[in-house]
Structure 1
Amino acid sequence: MDPNAPDTPSRRPTLSQVAKAAGVSEITASRALRGGSAVAKDTQLKVERAAHALNYVPNRLAGTLAGGASRQVAVILPSLSNIVFADVLKGLESRLEDDGYHPILGISHYDAAREEHLLRDLLSWRPAGLVLAPTSGNAATRALLQAAEMPVVEVMDTDPDAADMAVGFSHRAAGRAMAHYLIGRGYRRMAYIGHDIATDFRALARLDGFRDGLAELGLTLCETLILDGPSSVPLGREGLARLLAHTHPRPEAVFFSNDDMAVGGVFHCQTAGLALPQDIALAGFNGLGIGQALPTPLTTIASNRERIGFVAADLILRRLKGESPPRITQIDFRLVPGATA
């Protein structure tokens, strides 16, 4: 082999090869690939081009073990099967990537044991921070969050006591607001249809708040129907059909655990020949686009999910920069009158 021949990319290119191709030292190449501010912009571009040409991928774990700062933020969400938490993730990504950080995602599927397992696993990689939409008040999970030596942000709900920081709103207050709105519209005989609240304490908080709002005027729910399984449009359609089949007289208004379920209720009314809101009024929660795209737009409460994710990421980045952001950040919900109630 000719010792003067240029290096050719190996199956696993090295930092040394990248540095040689870019005409810089290994230390400079390493700093450039980490986005170090001490590296000149043109030098960073040369190193990045060399790394790209050689198909070089930095070993971030080795850098972290050697004392380098992780550029990853662990994120644990209950679900991505509906747009609610996908919107939160979108907001997180947009803010993190502005500063060169990236989310590592785990999905708990509303399972407290799985959530704890994911948390232990992700924390073992020593991320720069953690964002969590808690599934439950699992004692072991709470202890892990309180002991985590990194910025921790719990998102979506500000009622429970946060281990570190929290971003969101009071779901109990949201439920109460919907009760007040429906009472103000003249409804008195009201029912509730929800999915399995044993696995979604935020939905339970909204139900409790709705009951509180009714009780303030001496009212109670005429019927409460909790269905097994995750929320969905078909489950909401099935739920309203079942409720109306055995509830007499018929409720004047039905509050659903979320918009997915409420949209299913709208579909049942269409097939059953029930006019909205003349024959029955329906209301949901989340402010999803599908609810507002219906021929009769859904009455609901909009949660600013993307903003919640953005602010959660911003709090972590501020803490990493040595700032002291607030423990609790409220992102207000908004009542959408719609036309179904």
Structure 2
Amino acid sequence: MTVSRALRDGTSVNAKKRSAIVQVAEELGYVFDSRAANLRQQRTGFVAVTIPSINNANFADTVRGLSDGLKPHGLQTLLGYTDYDLEQEEHLVEQMLRRRPEAIVLTGGHHTDRCRRLLENAQIPVVETWDLPGVPLGHVVGFSNAAAAGLLVDHLVDLGKSRIAFIGGDTARDSRGADRRAGFVAAMRRHGLDATRLVDAGTPPISMQQGADAMAGLLRSLPDIEAAICVSDLVAFGALSECQRCSVAVPGQICIAGFGDYEIAGMCVPSLTTIDPLPHRIGQMAADLVVQALSHPVGTAPSCLQITPVLRVRQTSA
């Protein structure tokens, strides 16, 4: 019992004895097994998180913000990768709930019916991020992807552009991409412009190469195009690279805009106009909600915290 107390945080064992015990544990390579204590205290010390892509810098920034916010409270993250597949998300959520997380943070607000039932019955804090779901499961930290896409359309129209295309992917798999496309269409119609220049670049997550291929097809089919809004910065970088290969001047002949404000957006030449969704801040705010919900488990009303994405105007639409 003395060893157990010495190896737990907040120990009551005196410093000299604890130091001796810790030294022996280090020499033996012993790791304290907290399962029994966690079972007694009904705590596991981890928060489950689902993200659709493991190579997306935005989602990595959100997880980092979340982890940084949880760490001071003794909480770690258990990460699950859905690959933009709602059935896979459902499977991951079920597996995670079997491990009794203290809370769960989801990317997006679209889920299968069974996934919703699992989460509603879990009786743990749920935070949906990167979206503004119509019927939230609990807490929300997000923004309107449609409105963000509208900011890009408004910016290009202010520059005098009217023949604008949208390059995206399979909207059935990526609900946030679908919302950006819908926002593009709504904003174009609001300006009285043709909203039918919609290019399908493939299955999410869409790569730079797919962005380049989509731009090549766009230039062939609509050579008079004046601007292209891309579903992500990676797609936009591919589109920009294709224009450079084809000696199409950017922004002289065509303007290009992306979404996400990845590091590459500011580093490429010309630098890329984009939307900054403040992904690290999303993670921080989600962590704050989790900590508050766990600190006050009774009577905590669900919160909906809206992020305001920032339009970053750079050289591709100067």
Give the structure-2-normalised TM-score. Answer: 0.91
Aligned to 2:183: 209
Aligned to 2:64: 90
- Once the two structures are superposed, the pairs formed by residues 15-26 of structure 1 within 5 Å of their partners are 19-20=2-3, 26=4
CA contact (8 A) 1:92 1:309 kept: yes
Aligned to 2:216: 241
Q: Secondary structure at the match of 2:256?
A: strand
- Once the two structures are superposed, the pairs formed by residues 133-172 of structure 1 within 5 Å of their partners are 133-134=107-108, 136-172=110-146
CA deviation profile, 1:7-57 (whole Å, cap 9, x unmatched): xxxxxxxxx5xx35xxxxx4x33xx52x34x74894796365554343222
Separation of aligned partners in 2, 1:152 and 1:267: 41
Query: For residue 237 of structure 1, what is the amino acid of its counterpart?
Result: A
Aligned to 2:51: 77
Aligned to 2:315: 339
CA deviation profile, 1:235-282 (whole Å, cap 9, x unmatched): 10111001111124x211111111000000110111110111111111
Equivalent of 2:37 in 51, 63, 73: 63
Aligned to 1:317: 291
- Once the two structures are superposed, the pairs formed by residues 120-131 of structure 1 within 5 Å of their partners are 120-131=94-105
Aligned to 1:329: 305
Q: Against the structure 1 CA distance between its residues 187 and 51, is the aligned structure 2 distance closer, same or farther, given a 3 Å change threshold?
A: same
CA deviation profile, 1:141-170 (whole Å, cap 9, x unmatched): 122222221111111112433200011211
Q: Secondary structure at the match of 2:162?
A: coil
Separation of aligned partners in 2, 1:95 and 1:265: 36
Separation of aligned partners in 2, 1:59 and 1:135: 36
Alignment length (residue pairs): 313
Aligned to 1:296: 270
| 1:181 is aligned to 2:155 | yes
Query: For residue 219 of structure 1, what is the amino acid of its counterpart?
Result: L
Give the structure-1-normalised TM-score. Answer: 0.86
Q: Against the structure 1 CA distance between its residues 162 and 197, is the aligned structure 2 distance closer, same or farther, given a 3 Å change threshold?
A: same
| Structure 1 residue 108 displacement after superposition | 0.8
Aligned to 1:4: none
Separation of aligned partners in 2, 1:100 and 1:43: 25
| Structure 1 residue 289 displacement after superposition | 1.0
Q: Against the structure 1 CA distance between its residues 210 and 146, is the aligned structure 2 distance closer, same or farther, given a 3 Å change threshold?
A: same
Separation of aligned partners in 1, 2:73 and 2:17: 16
Separation of aligned partners in 1, 2:23 and 2:46: 23
Q: Secondary structure at the match of 1:157?
A: coil
Equivalent of 2:206 in 219, 231, 237: 231
Which region of structure 1 is more displaced relative to structure 2, 55-64 or 94-103?
Answer: 55-64
| 1:132 is aligned to 2:106 | yes
Q: Against the structure 1 CA distance between its residues 99 and 275, is the aligned structure 2 distance closer, same or farther, given a 3 Å change threshold?
A: same
Separation of aligned partners in 2, 1:76 and 1:206: 21
Bigger radius of gyration, 1 or 2? 1
Q: Against the structure 1 CA distance between its residues 311 and 52, is the aligned structure 2 distance closer, same or farther, given a 3 Å change threshold?
A: farther
Separation of aligned partners in 2, 1:308 and 1:40: 40
Query: For residue 266 of structure 1, what is the amino acid of its counterpart?
Result: L
Q: Against the structure 1 CA distance between its residues 259 and 40, is the aligned structure 2 distance closer, same or farther, given a 3 Å change threshold?
A: farther
Separation of aligned partners in 1, 2:210 and 2:61: 22
Aligned to 1:6: none
Which region of structure 1 is more displaced relative to structure 2, 40-49 or 308-317?
Answer: 40-49
CA contact (8 A) 1:84 1:286 kept: yes
Q: Against the structure 1 CA distance between its residues 277 and 246, is the aligned structure 2 distance closer, same or farther, given a 3 Å change threshold?
A: same
Structure 2: stretches of 5+ with no match in the other structure: none
CA deviation profile, 1:262-314 (whole Å, cap 9, x unmatched): 00011011111011111111111001110111121101101111111121112
Query: For residue 287 of structure 1, what is the amino acid of its counterpart?
Result: D
CA contact (8 A) 1:73 1:129 kept: yes
Structure 1: stretches of 5+ with no match in the other structure: 1-15, 21-25
